[in-house]
Amino acid sequence: MTQKISVIGLGKLGASMAAALASRGFEVIGVDVNQRSIELVNQGKAPVQETNLDETISANKERIKATTSHEEAVLNSDISFVIVPTPSDERGAFSLQYAAWAFKEIGRALSKKNSYHNVVLTSTVLPGSTREALIPILEKESGKKAGRDFGVCYSPEFIALGSIIQNFLNPDFTLIGELDERAGSQLEEIYSRVMVNGAPSARMSLENAELTKISVNTFVTTKITFANMLAEICEKLPNGNVDVVTNALGMDSRIGRKYLTGALGYGGPCFPRDNVALTFIAKELGVDAKLAETTDSMNRAVAAKVVERLRPMIRENATVAVLGLSYKPFSHVTEESQALFIAQALSRAGARVVGFDPLAGEMALNELHGQIVVLDSIEECLKQAEAVLITTPDPAFKELTVESFKNERSEILVVDFWRILQDKLDEQSKIKYIAFGYGDDDQENTKRLKELWGGTAKETFQTSGK
């Protein structure tokens, strides 16, 4: 029974996976090129910021060690999970440069190992990458044959930054792309002991697993974009309410409620690039990928549409507060953040923009290069704001009250993209509250529909009476 595991790459996902595996009783050896990360892990501390990571490593430090040596890790473990960056290239595909280097080091270590070893790639790659690009490296460097002398699997995780450990231990399913049955069975057995919720495994070929990974994320982005479109439509309807509509849609078992909340577009390090990558591989294979292309283009248009809508409501040089700078709550990551896109667009349009985020303030400050002012508290933002945009449903923002928005201004505009303060702020004096996805001008919206359909019934009646 496998008990010793090595994890190659101690970034957010790798360090969190190592900690989670150790918490389930496995002995784990982490490998990274960053000496500081190695030192921190060996001290029982987290090498990166992630929810519950520091506590989990500390609680299981007797089962976790780290090294810069791939050879040491491979020779002292039964299976290696490779979790290294696969950045997008100029084509929209995923670069294999870091994975290739890791596989080269692992292959050299395998040449010195007599017993069977399983190599599991967890980094996101495109179909064909594992078999055609990476396995040959292992075979060349080790002098051994994949599927006979060592195993190879592709098994990406479906996690969200800010909840990696929780997601890893409680997945909907585990995806196993296997070169051969022995490798897949070993990995499935390990997962059966790791996953707290007893999640099932989906076993398949390497290429099918590689496609499944990017397909899941692309489908989710399509669902998000569809809900956002419904939110825009609801704003044009009398008493339009996107939550009522999406709650009803979610009751259909063919659709489901997850990721069907109309709000801002998606962001982060995975969703945008996976959508583009699926488009790339489809085109390379001669397949029309207009659905994925449209989802991506609609998502990239969100910030401009928001700013265009807000222009008539915000005077020139007004101070606008943006609450939420990360791409999602509970994360300090600002990559592809819709909030940052909006903040930058507002700044270019002439507004003075101030922002706050419980975790991502420093990251946003580094990325924005002075385009907006990042403040240390919600109170500082609200004290000087003429308009407030709530761009993430962070619990800190849900706790705000009517009193929180009172300042020297005669009226303050609050645009709540997630509708988290509707019960508190709707119809309050001195607050112009806009809940994104709700029809907020019934007279105008009614007029629009009357103009569209008002003459239709009369025309039909007159025609049928002839």
**Residue with the larger pLDDT of the pair 445 and 43:** 43
Length of the chain: 466
- Which percentage of the chain shows pLDDT scores above 90? 83
Catalytic residue among 153, 234, 270, 381: 270
The CA distance from 65 to 12, in Å, is 16
Half-sphere exposure of 299 (CA within 13 A, CB side): 27
The CA distance from 19 to 280, in Å, is 34
pLDDT at 417 over 90: yes
429 token code pair: 């004096």
pLDDT tier, 458 (very low <50, low <70, confident <90, very high otherwise): low
Task: Note the pLDDT of residue 462.
Answer: 53
- Which percentage of the chain shows pLDDT scores above 70? 97
The residues near 196 (Cβ < 8 Å, ≥ 6 apart) are: 169, 170
Residue of 366, 369, 372 lying closest to 352 (CA atoms): 372
Rg of the chain over Cα atoms, rounded to whole angstroms, equals: 26
pLDDT tier, 392 (very low <50, low <70, confident <90, very high otherwise): very high
pLDDT tier, 394 (very low <50, low <70, confident <90, very high otherwise): very high
pLDDT at 460 over 60: no
Task: Note the pLDDT of residue 367.
Answer: 79
Judge contact between 307 and 350, C-beta under 8 A: no
Give yes or no: 234 in active site.
no
What's the mean pLDDT in 125-151?
Answer: 97
Task: Note the pLDDT of residue 116.
Answer: 96
Judge contact between 29 and 66, C-beta under 8 A: yes
pLDDT at 457 over 80: no
DSSP single-letter state for residue 53: H
**Adjacent-strand bridge partners of 151:** 118
Judge contact between 111 and 70, C-beta under 8 A: no
DSSP single-letter state for residue 375: P
The pLDDT tens digits of the residues spanning 328-371 come to 998 888 999 999 999 999 999 899 999 999 988 888 878 777 78
The CA distance from 194 to 165, in Å, is 11
Judge contact between 416 and 436, C-beta under 8 A: yes
**Residue with the larger pLDDT of the pair 392 and 371:** 392
pLDDT tier, 79 (very low <50, low <70, confident <90, very high otherwise): very high
Domains and CATH numbers, the chain: 4-204 (3.40.50.720), 215-300 (1.10.1040.10), 303-435 (3.40.50.720)
pLDDT tier, 162 (very low <50, low <70, confident <90, very high otherwise): confident
Encode 10-49: b = buried (16+ Cβ within 10 Å), e = exposed.
bbbbbbbbbbbbbbeebbbbbbbeeeebbebbeeeebbbe
pLDDT at 230 over 70: yes
For the chain, give the mean pLDDT.
Answer: 93
Task: Note the pLDDT of residue 361.
Answer: 86
The CA distance from 419 to 241, in Å, is 11
The pLDDT tens digits of the residues spanning 87-130 come to 999 999 999 999 999 999 999 999 999 999 999 999 999 999 99
pLDDT at 208 over 90: yes
Q: Treating both helix axes as pointing N-terminal to C-terminal, what angle do 97-110 and 135-142 enclose, rounded to 10 degrees?
A: 30
Lookup result for tokens 């982005």? 221
The CA distance from 364 to 16, in Å, is 23
pLDDT tier, 455 (very low <50, low <70, confident <90, very high otherwise): low
406 token code pair: 């009172």
pLDDT tier, 454 (very low <50, low <70, confident <90, very high otherwise): confident
Task: Note the pLDDT of residue 236.
Answer: 92
**Adjacent-strand bridge partners of 174:** 201
The pLDDT tens digits of the residues spanning 244-274 come to 999 999 999 999 999 999 999 999 989 999 9
**Residue with the larger pLDDT of the pair 259 and 315:** 259
**Residue with the larger pLDDT of the pair 142 and 361:** 142
The residues near 93 (Cβ < 8 Å, ≥ 6 apart) are: 126, 277, 280, 281
pLDDT at 83 over 80: yes
